[in-house]
Chain A
């Protein structure tokens, strides 16, 4: 454990705030130039690595097979994919820079201990675009910490940065809470990589509305936006909608924080979804689930108490990967309603109305089958099959927040900007500045690409500044 004395004894060349993917990439790059580097990580060692520890892959441009990636994924296709999900809410020069740099990240990652594997089962559609980490993001984070350690980087855990001391355009020191003790850490260059603010539910509630208190946070509880808030108070320039977060529909029984990937629920397209009043509220069969789970995060967030229930019958239970939580099971609809705490007669009525609106057709679970309802609102436009064969099953749905969009504005060199122009010695990387590239929506694997590219740039630039 790095103690207060060690931290405050010297003026560090490069101080990195946050030991997730972006911070680690920065620390490694800086340390490789010979700089004296310290990482201040807010979490205890077991929870180091923030949201990065929950990731599974990163998106990578390449011409011809590269590592685990097959075929070609070129800049233009990558850019078009990004344009589609962000609906134009992106900075083209930064985005193209990330895309171009991504190709050389993969060998760099391998050279620094990250191991890749073929696409995980069930995600074959990504084997051209996304490289999967063997063991997932925590294995990646472990590998980077070991590499950093071998390079002589100092790491302090439970070191929460509270304040950035800035004199004119120049940062001089950080105020750090080290397991309860306040420590001043001085440095010549600073890399801020401490993620978004989604774990601060009060902030989320101020931005989104009181409903946010009922959201589940899919990742780390340690990304509370302390440093981001402090930089806002300094008047730093920001990007990204301060009120928005990326949320998906997950199993409502998931842990409040850190539920990660296993809380996902894939049953919605084969179900009807009702709110706590027993009413349907959206077309469950609009599209295949991977294209809809983010929309459902918002839909459920808009329902009373931010909760919904996905209901299927026995014919559908084997059609999807079961949730890690066992379904609520009953032989009758009133029985199911009782266990869920839903109004029984109302649920019965909703299901009867839905069943009556179903039309014969050939049900195809793997494709948009056009088996739709007639005469009810909202309609179900695919996979509409009566909920009729007991036992009946239900899963609770709640919004699960992945990340927030608000971040620091940076240039191509990862440099941040304050009220009087660019800061001399403050760079930012990862989730903390990703809003300028991912202004809306999400592209699978792009968060780690942004963090790796900009983390490396920030580390190089910070080291060059002190060299």
Chain B
């Protein structure tokens, strides 16, 4: 088949449509390629000559917003090509999350508006306070405030329903980007890239360009690693608790030298410190290179996540005191909100980005043999 050049855009004609604009900039990059060494996006670009909508979605989600390609670009404004690839891809990425989420309208609200996230959080607190007040407690520790049965009844659906919604979106994503059956090698490569946050490393540059402009720095990568691994440790802690409860019939509260605490305390600290770090770095970074119109929603997401970590730690610190009840309501309220918003807030990024890394591993394997 001959090449469909009708997909090509005029490099001098800027577009308000995020996909069209990302396509325009990607085509310029494909003719230039100077930034090839920064991340996985450019090698993926060079595998194509023209870009269908699905290609743009994939490239947008593969981009980690490290910003190396902005500071290195010879075509940034006031040049008529007006390159700002980090922003163009962020815009197309946010657009793809809002389009693929179900229901899409909610995602638009929570991606963009911090007030909406805050309102949801207050609602989460209120629900938990009301439940604790209304339902009888049982047993020791925080089960004295809210019974294990009640927690399971609330959090099982609050965890599984959003996960199902994300699953539906990811299927749509996979179809849109032309994904096929994954191999073990694809998973290995993608998990390695995510676990080490390779695309925030700047390649040979040894860092990305976030809080220090054109200077390379590893601060954001390290802060994200703290959040990422902290979150996974917290998750592992909860899972360990569940296993202890059901399999070993060992009930909470657990002592410090138990699996849930040994995972949860460091996890909570990493999560809290990491989120604080990300918020601080965010303040110094140039908002013009981030997602247009979503800053408030993004910031609120980091606050929410950080609050989950912090309230968990405080809850542990005040154990055995009268503060346990109110703090339990705050912590569980935040966790509830976080779970329910996962498909519609910035939290979606982890899922889509993992999918993009998987697709990239797969495409590279198939095309490069």
A and B, one complex?
yes
Chain A residues at the B interface, C-beta cutoff of 8 Å: 46, 53-54, 56, 115-118, 120-122, 132-139, 142, 146, 253, 255, 258, 260-262, 264, 314-315, 317-318, 321-327, 329, 393
Contacts A121-B46, A134-B205, A135-B35; is A325 near B10 (CB within 8 Å)?
yes
| Interface-located stretch among B65-73, B145-153, B306-314, B329-337 | B65-73
Distance (Å) between the CB of B84 and the closest chain A CB? 13
B49 close to A (CB within 8 Å)? yes
B162 close to A (CB within 8 Å)? no
| Interface-located stretch among B74-82, B92-100, B180-188, B266-274 | B74-82
Chain B residues at the A interface, C-beta cutoff of 8 Å: 2-3, 5-6, 8-12, 27-28, 30-38, 43, 46, 49-50, 68-69, 71-81, 203-206, 214-215
B34 and A261 contacting across the interface, CB-CB below 8 Å: yes
* Interchain CA distance A324-B69 in the complex, whole Å: 18
A326 and B74 contacting across the interface, CB-CB below 8 Å: no
B50 and A134 contacting across the interface, CB-CB below 8 Å: no
B79 and A258 contacting across the interface, CB-CB below 8 Å: yes
Chain A residues, Cβ within 8 Å of B46: 121-122
* Interchain CA distance A56-B189 in the complex, whole Å: 30
B2 and A318 contacting across the interface, CB-CB below 8 Å: yes
Distance (Å) between the CB of A330 and the closest chain B CB? 12
Contacts A115-B204, A135-B68; is A324 near B5 (CB within 8 Å)?
no
* Interchain CA distance A132-B204 in the complex, whole Å: 12
Chain B residues, Cβ within 8 Å of A326: 5-6, 8-10
* Interchain CA distance A326-B11 in the complex, whole Å: 9
Contacts A136-B72, A255-B80, A321-B49; is A329 near B6 (CB within 8 Å)?
yes
Distance (Å) between the CB of B1 and the closest chain A CB? 8
A317 and B203 contacting across the interface, CB-CB below 8 Å: no
A327 and B68 contacting across the interface, CB-CB below 8 Å: no
Chain A residues, Cβ within 8 Å of B205: 115, 134-135, 139
Among A122, A146, A327, the residue within 8 A (CB) of B215 is: A146
Chain B residues, Cβ within 8 Å of A136: 32, 34-35, 72, 74
* Interchain CA distance A329-B79 in the complex, whole Å: 27
Chain A residues, Cβ within 8 Å of B36: 117, 120-121
* Interchain CA distance A322-B46 in the complex, whole Å: 12
Distance (Å) between the CB of A221 and the closest chain B CB? 11
* Interchain CA distance A428-B78 in the complex, whole Å: 30
Q: Known pairs A135-B72, A138-B34. 5 more at Cβ < 8 A?
A: A133-B34, A322-B50, A324-B27, A325-B10, A325-B11
Distance (Å) between the CB of B119 and the closest chain A CB? 41
* Interchain CA distance A258-B79 in the complex, whole Å: 8
Contacts A326-B10, A329-B5; is A118 near B37 (CB within 8 Å)?
yes
Closest to B33 in A: A120
Contacts A121-B43, A135-B205; is A317 near B5 (CB within 8 Å)?
yes
* Interchain CA distance A54-B46 in the complex, whole Å: 19
Instruction: Give 9 nearest A-B pairs by CB, closest first.
Output: A135-B72, A136-B34, A117-B37, A326-B8, A262-B31, A139-B72, A324-B31, A318-B3, A134-B37
B8 and A116 contacting across the interface, CB-CB below 8 Å: no
* Interchain CA distance A133-B32 in the complex, whole Å: 13
B50 and A53 contacting across the interface, CB-CB below 8 Å: no
* Interchain CA distance A393-B8 in the complex, whole Å: 13
A135 and B32 contacting across the interface, CB-CB below 8 Å: no
Distance (Å) between the CB of B9 and the closest chain A CB? 7
Chain B residues, Cβ within 8 Å of A146: 214-215
Chain A residues, Cβ within 8 Å of B76: 46
A322 and B5 contacting across the interface, CB-CB below 8 Å: yes
* Interchain CA distance A302-B289 in the complex, whole Å: 44
Chain A residues, Cβ within 8 Å of B50: 322
Distance (Å) between the CB of B77 and the closest chain A CB? 8
Chain A residues, Cβ within 8 Å of B49: 318, 321-322
Contacts A261-B32, A317-B2; is A142 near B74 (CB within 8 Å)?
no
Chain A residues, Cβ within 8 Å of B215: 146
A322 and B73 contacting across the interface, CB-CB below 8 Å: no
Among A135, A258, A262, A393, the residue within 8 A (CB) of B38 is: A135
B3 and A260 contacting across the interface, CB-CB below 8 Å: no
Chain B residues, Cβ within 8 Å of A261: 31-32, 34
B37 and A264 contacting across the interface, CB-CB below 8 Å: no
Contacts A142-B72, A322-B50; is A262 near B32 (CB within 8 Å)?
yes
- Sample (27) of A-B pairs whose CB atoms are under 8 Å apart: A115-B205, A117-B37, A120-B33, A121-B46, A133-B34, A135-B68, A135-B69, A135-B71, A135-B205, A137-B74, A138-B34, A138-B74, A139-B72, A139-B205, A255-B80, A258-B74, A258-B79, A260-B32, A262-B31, A314-B2, A317-B3, A321-B49, A322-B3, A322-B8, A326-B5, A326-B9, A326-B10
Closest to B50 in A: A322
Closest to A316 in B: B2
B34 and A324 contacting across the interface, CB-CB below 8 Å: no
Chain A residues, Cβ within 8 Å of B30: 321, 324
Chain B residues, Cβ within 8 Å of A327: 5, 8
Among A117, A134, A138, A325, the residue within 8 A (CB) of B73 is: A138
Contacts A136-B72, A146-B214, A255-B80; is A120 near B34 (CB within 8 Å)?
yes
B9 and A134 contacting across the interface, CB-CB below 8 Å: no
B78 and A134 contacting across the interface, CB-CB below 8 Å: no
Distance (Å) between the CB of B70 and the closest chain A CB? 10
Closest to A133 in B: B34
* Interchain CA distance A262-B31 in the complex, whole Å: 5
Contacts A258-B79, A322-B3, A327-B5; is A142 near B71 (CB within 8 Å)?
yes
A323 and B10 contacting across the interface, CB-CB below 8 Å: no
Chain B residues, Cβ within 8 Å of A46: 76-78
* Interchain CA distance A121-B35 in the complex, whole Å: 11
Closest to A219 in B: B74
* Interchain CA distance A253-B8 in the complex, whole Å: 15
Distance (Å) between the CB of B310 and the closest chain A CB? 36
B74 and A53 contacting across the interface, CB-CB below 8 Å: yes
Closest to B37 in A: A117
Distance (Å) between the CB of A280 and the closest chain B CB? 24
Closest to B29 in A: A262
A138 and B43 contacting across the interface, CB-CB below 8 Å: no
B71 and A139 contacting across the interface, CB-CB below 8 Å: yes
* Interchain CA distance A323-B50 in the complex, whole Å: 11
Chain B residues, Cβ within 8 Å of A324: 11, 27-28, 30-31
Chain B residues, Cβ within 8 Å of A138: 34, 71-74
Distance (Å) between the CB of B257 and the closest chain A CB? 46
Closest to B49 in A: A322
B33 and A121 contacting across the interface, CB-CB below 8 Å: yes
Distance (Å) between the CB of A327 and the closest chain B CB? 6
B204 and A117 contacting across the interface, CB-CB below 8 Å: yes
* Interchain CA distance A327-B206 in the complex, whole Å: 39
Among B5, B11, B71, the residue within 8 A (CB) of A262 is: B11
Closest to B73 in A: A138
